[in-house]
């Protein structure tokens, strides 16, 4: 059939990219330096393009505890009605299960809220990659009028009225309650939100009974179709940028193009960055819908079908879509020893 050579070429290119990634060749952009260096978090590489999440990270548990309290504190919003956890509920896969988050005063956010789980593994933060680190990311929702709608002087004044906070910050930071220290504590807590021990990770570590034959077939299809070119590494994504609509114009066909659909273009102003986004992690993807930056898709089967059509230019047979989805379900991990 006339489309077969093109498909074969695409698959070959995708496999080549995956191989280059494994040996350390950058794909689209080098990883920028974060404002605060995170701990060494990546496990030793394996023969597979996906690596297991480590069982634990070397984090200061006092900062983790303080950051957790801050993350759940509603005083971060202008009207004391919302916390960071309002859009990133740990009981909802680290997101909010909505197409668009709801901020102060019931205002709807501009893009889908990504999961906070494993966010410390992402090379940039936000869909358009505008924050270089978790610390930098915190400024966004704090100041956004549709999210928390506040500012650091107001937040600091509130927190200083709390004797427990005053004591905890004094014990950990020489200058006490300051915006940089608040962000450091919250980011440390967020880095602790890892989800190891997925069945797929157990498979990678040598557990031959961790996956079914159909799930293994799904993973092989995931690799052979080229999905692995963008979704690999410890976070099965989150480490490069890609255009949404490589083979077909996703936005023209969807219609109603809005500013958030511009992706990286809104940051760089470069035409080649139009509709380019940070590739999302597929960790826990079965429990983190709705999907895409616009929150437009709720079923994983539809996600796989759309990715095949718009990113690879192929129509993946329904039976193979089902197998790939079975594999994706094996990426659901544990938090604090309990399955998500």
- Which CATH number goes with the domain that contains 205? 1.10.760.10
| Cα 108 off chain centre by | 20
- On whether both 217 and 331 belong to a single domain, the answer is yes
pTM: 0.86
The dihedral built from the CA positions of residue 84, 87, 89 and 95, taken in this order, carries a sign that is negative
| Cα 198 off chain centre by | 16
User: How many domains does the chain contain in total?
Assistant: 2
CA torsion, points 296, 114, 281, 73, in degrees to nearest 10? Answer: -160
- On whether both 230 and 323 belong to a single domain, the answer is yes
Question: In this structure, what token pair is assigned to residue 76?
Answer: 């971060």
| Residues spanned by the domain of 330 | 4-55+195-339
C-alpha closest to that of 240 among 28, 32, 24, 41: 28
- On whether both 234 and 107 belong to a single domain, the answer is no
Question: What's the Cα-to-Cα distance from 26 to each of 44, 51, 121, 187, 281, rounded to whole Å?
Answer: 18, 17, 16, 26, 18
Number of H helices, E strands in the chain: 12, 4
C-alpha closest to that of 53 among 188, 204, 185: 204
Residues marked active site are found at: 147
- On whether both 258 and 303 belong to a single domain, the answer is yes
156, 191, 226 - which closes a domain: 191
175, 191, 207 - which closes a domain: 191
Which residues lie below 8 Å from residue 29, measured CB to CB, with a gap of 6+? 240, 241
- On whether both 226 and 315 belong to a single domain, the answer is yes
Q: At what angle do helices 300-307 and 318-329 cross, to 10 degrees?
A: 120
Paired with 35 in beta bridges are none
- In the predicted model, residues of the chain with pLDDT beneath 70 are 1-46
- On whether both 274 and 235 belong to a single domain, the answer is yes
Task: Name the 3-class secondary structure at 263.
Answer: strand
- On whether both 69 and 105 belong to a single domain, the answer is yes
- On whether both 51 and 65 belong to a single domain, the answer is no
C-alpha closest to that of 123 among 234, 222, 213, 284: 234
Dist. CA 327–CA 237, nearest whole Å = 15
191, 220, 236 - which closes a domain: 191
- On whether both 229 and 112 belong to a single domain, the answer is no
C-alpha closest to that of 95 among 114, 109, 76: 114
Dist. CA 33–CA 133, nearest whole Å = 8
Contact 177, 165 (CB under 8 A): yes
- On whether both 28 and 131 belong to a single domain, the answer is no
- On whether both 182 and 214 belong to a single domain, the answer is no
Long-range contacts of 149-158 (CB under 8 A, 24+ apart): 149/77, 149/78, 149/79, 149/103, 149/104, 149/105, 150/76, 150/77, 150/78, 152/179, 152/182, 154/78, 155/75, 155/76, 155/179, 155/182, 156/182, 158/75
Dist. CA 279–CA 183, nearest whole Å = 25
Q: Quick: pLDDT tens for 93-147.
A: 999 999 999 999 999 999 999 999 999 999 999 999 999 999 999 999 999 999 9
pLDDT at site 46: 54
- On whether both 76 and 207 belong to a single domain, the answer is no
């Amino acid at each position: 059939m006339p489309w077969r050579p093109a498909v074969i070429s695409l698959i070959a290119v995708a496999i080549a990219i995956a191989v280059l990634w494994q040996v350390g060749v950058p794909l689209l952009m080098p990883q920028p330096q974060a404002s605060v260096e995170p701990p060494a978090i990546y496990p030793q590489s394996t023969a597979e393009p996906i690596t297991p999440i480590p069982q634990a990270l070397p984090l200061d548990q006092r900062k983790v505890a303080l950051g957790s309290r801050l993350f759940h504190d509603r005083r971060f919003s202008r009207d004391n009605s919302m916390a960071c956890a309002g859009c990133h509920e740990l009981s909802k896969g680290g997101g909010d299960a909505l197409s668009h988050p709801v901020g102060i005063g019931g205002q709807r956010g501009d893009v889908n809220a990504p999961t906070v789980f494993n966010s410390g593994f992402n090379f940039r933060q936000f869909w358009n990659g505008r924050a270089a680190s978790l610390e930098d990311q915190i400024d966004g929702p704090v100041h956004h009028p549709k999210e928390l709608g506040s500012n650091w002087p107001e937040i600091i004044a509130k927190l200083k009225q709390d004797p427990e906070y005053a004591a905890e910050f004094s014990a950990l930071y020489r200058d006490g309650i300051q915006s940089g220290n608040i962000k450091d504590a919250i980011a440390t807590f967020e880095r602790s939100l890892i989800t190891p021990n997925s069945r797929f990770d157990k498979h990678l570590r040598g557990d031959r009974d961790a996956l079914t034959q159909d799930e293994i077939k799904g993973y092989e299809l995931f690799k052979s179709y080229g999905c692995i070119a963008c979704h690999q590494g410890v976070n099965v994504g989150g480490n490069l940028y890609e255009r949404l609509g490589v083979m077909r114009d996703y936005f023209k066909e969807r219609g109603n193009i809005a500013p958030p659909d511009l992706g990286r273009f809104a940051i760089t102003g470069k035409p080649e960055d139009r509709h380019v986004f940070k590739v999302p992690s597929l960790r826990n993807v079965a429990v983190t819908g709705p999907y895409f930056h616009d929150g437009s898709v709720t079923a994983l089967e539809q996600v796989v079908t759309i990715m095949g059509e718009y990113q690879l230019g192929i129509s993946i047979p329904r039976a193979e879509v089902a197998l790939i989805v079975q594999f994706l379900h094996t990426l659901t991990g544990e938090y604090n020893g309990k399955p998500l």
